Structure 1
Amino acid sequence: MHKCFIEMMSRNVIPTACHIQGFLFSERHRAVFAMRYIDKCWEIHRAFCRQNTRPPFEPTMKMRQFLWMLNDFKLLGKQLTASRLVEILFKDGPSLHDSSSSNLEQELVFLEFVEALLHCALVYVTSDTIKEQVDGDNQKRRNFRTEGFSEGTTNETFYMQYSLSQVLRPCEDRGQSLQEFLMDELEAQTGKDKEFDWWMYQVQIFFTNNLFPAYQHEKVLKAKIKENRIQNAELAELRRRKDEEIAKLIAEREAEDAKKQKEAAEEVSLESKSTVFKELEEPGVQLAPPPKEEASAVPAPAVTKVPTGTKRRRK
């Protein structure tokens, strides 16, 4: 045990001690900005975790489940493909991935989950995506000017409506716009870091406009599916009870019909018997005499008469 512990410390712990690794905490400003989304990411991570089959049986997420999650969110596409996502997942663990196979059964801890999402943001959000986002925001502002004021909508009403559509935006949740956040974070720097600004726009658009709304839609969809299952189970139970009642009524009806048929048959039998009795009781109706026994054909024995004038001769 002593030798194994020393080997582990010398090989894995001491060489990486005091060296920050990973994408999230590599730079302070990136970590500060990303921490604004950490609570919602934790909620998503917990929602898609599954119970581990091995002790201590804690909820865990595998790389395969992470891929399925983004596929359910409809975030896999032309830019963020499945193969590109696999490369992101195995970026920090090249020994687990080669050109021929990938072990997607590896566990993703929460820190790896967040870093994978940040990498996905950089791939998913391109310059064209940001341009579309800017055009969409400008269109919303123009619609507000042309429709909002014509309908008597105040600035406060519009802000409430716009906040509802952007409820997952962390900066607005804290009463701080993205521009104000950028100014506060960049004051300590000597110059404007364009790369950092670009990274923030990519992360902010991916999380607030794509990931979080997709998760919210999936959450509502699952709740609706659960509700439908409960309703279907209730309807199935009602149908079962109705079928039982119908079967019971049919059985009662058949028993009643059989009883009526039996009573009708008995009634017909009694009527036929009573008819016969009435015919027998009517006058002039006599029973036929029983047949006479035929006379015996044997003749009676003949009797010989002795003549009266003849005397018996004496000896």
Structure 2
Amino acid sequence: MAMMTEESKLVAETEQPENDNISHLPALIRLEVRRYEGETCEGQYHGEGFALFKGDHIYKGMFSKGLMKGFGVFTEASGLKYEGEFVCNMPMGQGTFTWPDGSTYTGEIHRGTRHGMGTYKCAKSGVCYIGQWYQGKRHGKGIVYYSGDQTSWYKGDWVMNNREGWGERCYPSGNFYSGEWKNNLRHGEGTMTWQELRQQYLGEWEEGVQHGRGTHVWILRRTYESHFSQSNRYKGDFFQGQRHGEGIFYYAGGAIYEGWWKKNEKHGQGKFTFKDGRVFQGEFLDDRMMTPDIKTLYTFFRSDSGSSILGPDKALNIECVLEKVPESKRDTESKQVQFVVLQHEVQLRYIYDFYSRLGSSQSPDNTFLLYRLPFWRLLKDSNIHHHGVTLTQIDHFIRGKILTTNYSTLIRKIHFPFTPILFRTLLSYLVIVAYFIYSKDVESQENVLATCLSKLLIEDILPNAQNVKGFLFRQPDFAVVAMKYMKKCWGIYQVFCRLRTTHKDDVTMTCRHLLWMFKDLCLLDQKMTTARLLEIIAAETSEPENLTACLDLEITFLEFFEVLLGCAEVKCPQDSDVEGDRSLHKCDSKGESDLCEVEAREREIQTNSHDQSVSPSFQMGHSTDQDLVRVEDHETPQSTEETEEPGHQVKDTKTSRMEIKDREVTLRTQEMHQFFNNHFFPAFEHHQLTVEEKLLQDQRCKKTQ
């Protein structure tokens, strides 16, 4: 626990004062001319001239009908100078203020104050602000450099001279924060990286400190001859900068603690899993296990875990399926399963790493942890749901593997999309899934579990994994942006699950309930018809042409969210010219070459169908860089008669496809923003208000009766 002592060093960075050494402009002064030299017209100052005012203020520039108008230079007796445009004796338009100490402001002026875009530089401190102003204060978008070498800066939103909204802050120490601000303090969602301490926090903030849900990572220094960096990771509740509440701590050595915390220490009910698989579950007090004899309370994942050939980092927890095997054969079955895992370990690790990165923008140590959402995507990419089993049923198969401290927590987390999954947990999941899918087909085999696992890996997982489908993860850049809407959509999903589900120990919805939700939210129209919505829902089913076959199937949050993303493309389409490029791009990718024919065929079906308002069928596709490379490798370069540079055409084709890919991501992002912000979220909020008003009316009616 030596790592914990460093936490005392982790203090909040000193924030700059509100004024940031910004020089202020004096109030407007009343001018009385004492002497004038220059051009006149009809007895009034008109044209270029020089004026000396009462109080020794000086103006040199253009006049019009007795007033300063046009370009000129005004110097106050105090030394403040303005050089720029005037309108009716007022600094207005573009200009430059210069203070006696050398500080300057250059930009837009309105009625003598900084207003619009402008740049302020402080001569004393080196502070420089470039951005928007409102009535003399920083307001809008802007960047401020707090040092002359520009190593300390803030870039983002301002509200009346305060950092407020979204912004990035680079501190003099090199520490970096990106996220939300309020009243000059980190407040809301944000990510902070401490360079010297090699730590990172991603989560909620309140008044400058970690407060709420978040993830804190401690990156450990590499040991001698180590090729990989390691890290401790905590994910859970924070209170006023400390681990406090419920959370999980992943130790670099492989141990895991899940349970309750108090002021950075394990305190209350918890579960500690040692790296060798041993488990202590019980009471913790002041960071210590409370038991008179710790050895008597150790349990094991398996009674013979010490003889495991996989090692502690891959120890399997498959007791729930081993129990279905005669006791005399369990040891043999277990070892045969481990041999299958060893045979495919390298490929499985690649798959784990690949799906761990989906939807993740960055990691301080370039390591990623798989969680349930991309695990669902792995199962769907591998067509596991084509075996007559849904993802929600699979969640129930593996529910015993979820690390929890009590049964109620288990119920809530059966379908929780953000449950972390270690590599050894993924291996256990695959064994369990394989048994429930293939056990009846191979029940006559000698080693049933090993045969099921081998069949699942060879026929389903290995040939199809990393070939990402669906609306969410198939484009990494788009997925990172889409994840920002995940939290709010998860809340909406839970609301409708509670409204629809008939099982006390489950929180899911069916496809039929999803259709009802769209109807309740009034999201169906000429573009988003019921038939069109059904096409999107059924796109990845085993029978996509049978639109009604899936109505009673339960769906997980992944399927719910991907339907929303599919609806965004239909309900909020962008520029039609680029849409053509997107269709062309999909047809170019290997694995999607048949999509154009499918879409053309379904257009005929839709043309002859009863609902003439339904547009061409929506197809779930995938697009990977490997696919593009394979297509390009088979392209035939033009002959020398057609071009002098045979390789130039290939390079242009690659560039063109990359541009199309980038434009498609941009378009999909715009469609998604428009759908969620202009349609889905407002519709849900309106629906909730309507429901609440109806409940209040019902209560009033009961009282009157």
Q: What TM-score do the two structures reach when normalised by structure 2?
A: 0.23
Name the residue aligned to 2:551: 104
Contact 2:511 2:552 in 1 (8 A): yes
Establish whether residue 24 from structure 1 lines up as the match of residue 478 from structure 2: no
Q: Secondary structure at the match of 1:204?
A: helix
Name the residue aligned to 1:199: 668
Name the residue aligned to 2:685: 216
Q: How far is 1:97 from its partner?
A: 4.1
**1:231 partner letter:** R
Q: How far is 1:103 from its partner?
A: 2.7
Q: Per the alignment, do residues 52 and 211 of structure 1 end up closer, same or farther by CA in structure 2, a change over 3 Å counting? A: closer
Q: How far is 1:200 from its partner?
A: 1.6
Query: Matches of residues 271-282 of structure 1 in structure 2 within 5 Å?
Result: none
Query: Matches of residues 182-261 of structure 1 in structure 2 within 5 Å?
Result: 193-236=662-705
Name the residue aligned to 1:179: none
Mapped partners of 1:53, 1:114: distance in 2: 22
Name the residue aligned to 2:571: 124
Deviations 1:247-267 (A, max 9, x none): xxxxxxxxxxxxxxxxxxxxx
Q: How far is 1:225 from its partner?
A: 1.3
Mapped partners of 1:96, 1:42: distance in 2: 27
Deviations 1:27-81 (A, max 9, x none): 1111111111111111110111146556x82110111111111111111111111
Query: Whose Rg is larger?
Result: 1
Deviations 1:210-268 (A, max 9, x none): 100000000111111111222222222xxxxxxxxxxxxxxxxxxxxxxxxxxxxxxxx
Name the residue aligned to 2:185: none
Establish whether residue 13 from structure 1 lines up as the match of residue 461 from structure 2: yes
Q: Per the alignment, do residues 27 and 99 of structure 1 end up closer, same or farther by CA in structure 2, a change over 3 Å counting? A: closer
Which of the numbers 548, 552, 561 marks the counterpart of 1:114?
561
Mapped partners of 2:512, 2:496: distance in 1: 11
Query: Matches of residues 1-315 of structure 1 in structure 2 within 5 Å?
Result: 1-2=448-449, 3-50=451-498, 52-53=501-502, 57-93=505-541, 95-99=542-546, 101-127=548-574, 193-236=662-705
Q: Per the alignment, do residues 98 and 69 of structure 1 end up closer, same or farther by CA in structure 2, a change over 3 Å counting? A: same
Deviations 1:98-129 (A, max 9, x none): 34743301111111111110110000013499
Q: How far is 1:208 from its partner?
A: 0.1
Q: Per the alignment, do residues 71 and 128 of structure 1 end up closer, same or farther by CA in structure 2, a change over 3 Å counting? A: farther
Mapped partners of 1:219, 1:100: distance in 2: 30
Report which structure shows greater RCO (CA 8 Å, sep ≥6).
Answer: 1
Mapped partners of 1:100, 1:16: distance in 2: 24
Mapped partners of 1:37, 1:217: distance in 2: 18
Q: Per the alignment, do residues 70 and 101 of structure 1 end up closer, same or farther by CA in structure 2, a change over 3 Å counting? A: closer
**1:117 partner letter:** L
Mapped partners of 2:552, 2:698: distance in 1: 30
Mapped partners of 2:663, 2:575: distance in 1: 17
Mapped partners of 2:547, 2:696: distance in 1: 43
Contact 2:481 2:669 in 1 (8 A): yes
**1:213 partner letter:** P
**2:686 partner letter:** H
Mapped partners of 1:126, 1:21: distance in 2: 20
**1:224 partner letter:** E
Mapped partners of 2:482, 2:529: distance in 1: 23
Mapped partners of 2:690, 2:575: distance in 1: 30
Mapped partners of 1:9, 1:126: distance in 2: 39
Q: Secondary structure at the match of 1:20?
A: coil
Q: What stretches of structure 1 move > 6 A for 4+ residues in a row?
A: none
Q: Which runs of 5+ in 2 are unaligned?
A: 1-447, 577-657
- What is the number of equivalent residue pairs in this alignment? 174
Q: Secondary structure at the match of 1:86?
A: helix
Contact 2:574 2:667 in 1 (8 A): no
**1:219 partner letter:** Q
Mapped partners of 1:101, 1:65: distance in 2: 13
Q: Per the alignment, do residues 52 and 221 of structure 1 end up closer, same or farther by CA in structure 2, a change over 3 Å counting? A: closer
Q: Secondary structure at the match of 1:48?
A: helix
Q: How far is 1:196 from its partner?
A: 2.2
Task: Report percent identity of matched pairs.
Answer: 33
Q: Secondary structure at the match of 2:508?
A: strand
**2:698 partner letter:** R
Q: How far is 1:96 from its partner?
A: 3.8
Mapped partners of 2:483, 2:571: distance in 1: 20
Mapped partners of 1:230, 1:128: distance in 2: 49
